[in-house]
Amino acid sequence: MTSASPASNPIISSPLAGEEGARAVQPRGKVRGKAPNPTIARARELRRNATDAEKRLWTLLREKLPAAEFRRQVPIGPYFADFASHAARLIVELDGGGHDEATDAPRTAFLEREGYRVIRFWNHDVMQNSEGVLVTIVGALPPHPPTPDGAGPSLSHKGRGSGISFAE
């Protein structure tokens, strides 16, 4: 009589397989061979191939307005917003020579229907007058970030706000 190996006999299994307390084998890290989401892949490509103006504005937004929590190349519906602050419901678009108002109008209308305010700057403005661009963005942000309880910033006894402000 020959004995069958556990691998060839479907009745005999590993003592851990199926028993309580046994851990199921979970794949770790990225699953190889899985095609990436095309929207995510396109957003990554746009971030990798940023223009000089986009790079400069991204640095300014991170350094000067961290509380606004801007993200770059954010997919919103069928469009990619250059910079978006979801908390402030604000989108900042940079336009180079390839943009025209006729094609931007439906995009802006869609984003506004989604509840965002859209402001636009020419790449040249960002490169030549970055502080002016930043002042305009600060002016478009709400005075204080929204709070989870809706109470807003607390005031000290001297009347100065002690809450966090987008402007620094």
Which residue type, as a one-letter code, is found at position 67?
A
Q: What's the whole-number mean pLDDT along residues 32-50?
A: 75
Of the two residues 69 and 152, the one the predictor is more confident about is: 69
Ranges 91-95, 142-146, 152-156, most confident: 91-95
pLDDT at 99 over 60: yes
Q: What's the whole-number mean pLDDT along residues 123-146?
A: 89
- pTM to 2 decimals? 0.62
Residue 64 confidence class, pLDDT cut points 50, 70, 90? very high
Of the two residues 162 and 109, the one the predictor is more confident about is: 109
Which residue segments constitute the domains of the chain, with CATH numbers given? 38-140 (3.40.960.10)
Distance CA 132, CA 139 (A): 11
pLDDT at 136 over 90: yes
Of the two residues 130 and 36, the one the predictor is more confident about is: 130
Distance CA 75, CA 81 (A): 6
**Residue 34 in 3-state DSSP?**
coil
Distance CA 54, CA 73 (A): 10
pLDDT at 100 over 90: no
Q: 104-119, pLDDT tens digit by residue?
A: 889 899 999 999 999 9
